[in-house]
């Protein structure tokens, strides 16, 4: 049975590759060293205006962001195909000041900032297999932490930055592991014949949320950071995965296809108080909380291509962060 993360991971690569093959024009060659600037959303055709209903979302009003919105640095890392293949970029929360961090012909995906915002984990096949890399937040000094033939990823940091939890098929099926931040001391946390992956480390450091089909369908679970006491949180049809903890640890955002479409939900860590955040029948993926917990970034096909959006946790306000022809996916806010 194919699982949510692998399916969506390969879907994203396929989308990016398809868009690359049909790009109308390449980036300007006159100034390759100059960072590109994303279009101003306010000037884009049919862009939502302040206080106006967001196109296609019933009862949702527009959200206005600025470069300082969301706390932290006000920047997000994400994947885009605009330079010809999937690369990791950063952008301000208002969609301006775009920078390509990776500039590599391989596939570079799944960025995750370290707790101090100084490092980025990412997944790349630049050495052959899909391995876990770490680089500085400016894109310099990439290092392969998991060299070898296994499919490794996604990966997340512990709250203190000393460890990394990750999924891998190194032992024959997808399991969850931890390792030191330098790639040493790999420890297996799950031992299960079924899929375990799609993980997120709690802000307090004591829990790891993950997705598993150990009880049938793909559902959300939490376990101790040492792999102990797994507990099931969701009990629905369809896929449930891609968990993301709120900064205060009180909520988990995740993706569910329970009604036939992938949408963003939130839930308490004990499995109570589920809320459907994005209600439109479309494809919404990869939720990521802002550092101050005010917004959830995600990517969506609600306007045609795959673009980045931000929404308030109650779903009442939404805006587009990127507004361009390339596919933009997998956002994460910089602390």
Q: Which helix (H) or strand (E) holds 10?
A: helix 4-21
Predicted confidence band of residue 75 (pLDDT cuts 50, 70, 90): very high
Predicted confidence band of residue 54 (pLDDT cuts 50, 70, 90): low
Q: What is the pLDDT of residue 327?
A: 87
Q: What is the pLDDT of residue 44?
A: 35
Q: What is the pLDDT of residue 264?
A: 98
What three-state secondary structure class fits 15? helix
Predicted confidence band of residue 17 (pLDDT cuts 50, 70, 90): very low
Helix residue ranges, H only, 184-274: none
What three-state secondary structure class fits 87? strand
Residue 287's nearest CA partner among 260, 309, 306 is 309
Predicted confidence band of residue 174 (pLDDT cuts 50, 70, 90): very high
Per-residue pLDDT at 218 exceeds 90:
yes
Residue ranges of domains in the chain:
4-20+38-333
Per-residue pLDDT at 53 exceeds 90:
no
Work out the number of other CB atoms within 10 angstroms of the CB of residue 271. Answer: 16
Predicted confidence band of residue 36 (pLDDT cuts 50, 70, 90): very low
Superfamily of domain 4-20+38-333: TolB, C-terminal domain (2.120.10.30)
Predicted confidence band of residue 325 (pLDDT cuts 50, 70, 90): low
Q: What is the pLDDT of residue 298?
A: 97
More reliable by pLDDT, 257 or 322:
257
Q: From residue 57, how far is each of 282, 317, 327 by CA, in Å?
A: 11, 10, 21
Q: What is the pLDDT of residue 303?
A: 85
**Strand ranges, E, within 162-206:** 163-168, 175-180, 187-188, 196-201
* Token pair 């990750």: residue: 166
pLDDT digits (tens, 9 = 90+) for 78-93: 999 988 899 999 999 8
Q: What is the pLDDT of residue 89?
A: 95
d(CA 8, CA 216): 19
DSSP-assigned beta bridge partners for residue 64? none
Per-residue pLDDT at 228 exceeds 60:
yes
Cα radius of gyration rounded to whole Å, the chain = 19
Q: What is the pLDDT of residue 305?
A: 85
Work out the number of other CB atoms within 10 angstroms of the CB of residue 282. Answer: 15
């Amino acid at each position: 049975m194919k699982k949510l993360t692998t399916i969506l991971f390969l879907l994203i690569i396929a989308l990016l590759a398809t868009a690359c093959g049909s790009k109308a024009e390449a980036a300007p060659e006159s100034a390759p060293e100059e960072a590109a600037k994303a279009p101003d959303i306010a000037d884009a055709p049919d862009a939502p205006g302040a206080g106006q209903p967001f196109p296609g979302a019933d009862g949702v009003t527009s959200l206005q962001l600025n470069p300082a919105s969301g706390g932290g640095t006000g920047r997000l890392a994400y994947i885009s195909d605009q330079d010809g293949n999937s690369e990791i970029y950063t952008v301000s929360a208002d969609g301006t000041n775009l920078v390509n961090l990776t500039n590599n012909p391989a596939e570079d995906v799944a960025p995750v900032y370290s707790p101090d915002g100084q490092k980025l984990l990412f997944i790349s096949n630049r050495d052959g297999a899909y391995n876990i890399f770490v680089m500085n937040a400016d894109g310099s000094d990439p290092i392969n932490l998991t060299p070898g033939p296994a499919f490794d990823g996604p990966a997340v940091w512990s709250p203190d930055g000393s460890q990394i939890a990750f999924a891998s098929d190194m032992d024959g099926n997808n399991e969850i592991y931890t390792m030191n931040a330098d790639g040493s001391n790999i420890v297996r946390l799950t031992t299960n014949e079924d899929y375990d992956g799609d993980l997120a480390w709690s802000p307090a450091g004591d829990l790891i949320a993950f997705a598993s089909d150990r009880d049938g369908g793909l559902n959300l679970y939490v376990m101790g950071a040492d792999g102990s006491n797994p507990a099931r949180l969701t009990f629905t049809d369809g896929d449930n995965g891609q968990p993301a903890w709120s900064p205060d640890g009180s909520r988990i955002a995740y993706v569910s296809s329970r009604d036939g479409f992938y949408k963003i939900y939130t839930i308490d860590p004990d499995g109570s108080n589920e809320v459907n955040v994005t209600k439109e029948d479309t494809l919404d993926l990869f939720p990521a909380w802002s550092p101050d917990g005010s917004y959830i970034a995600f990517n969506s096909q609600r306007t045609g291509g795959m673009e980045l959006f931000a929404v308030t946790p109650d779903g009442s306000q939404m805006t587009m962060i990127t507004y361009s022809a390339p596919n933009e996916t997998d956002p994460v806010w910089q602390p």
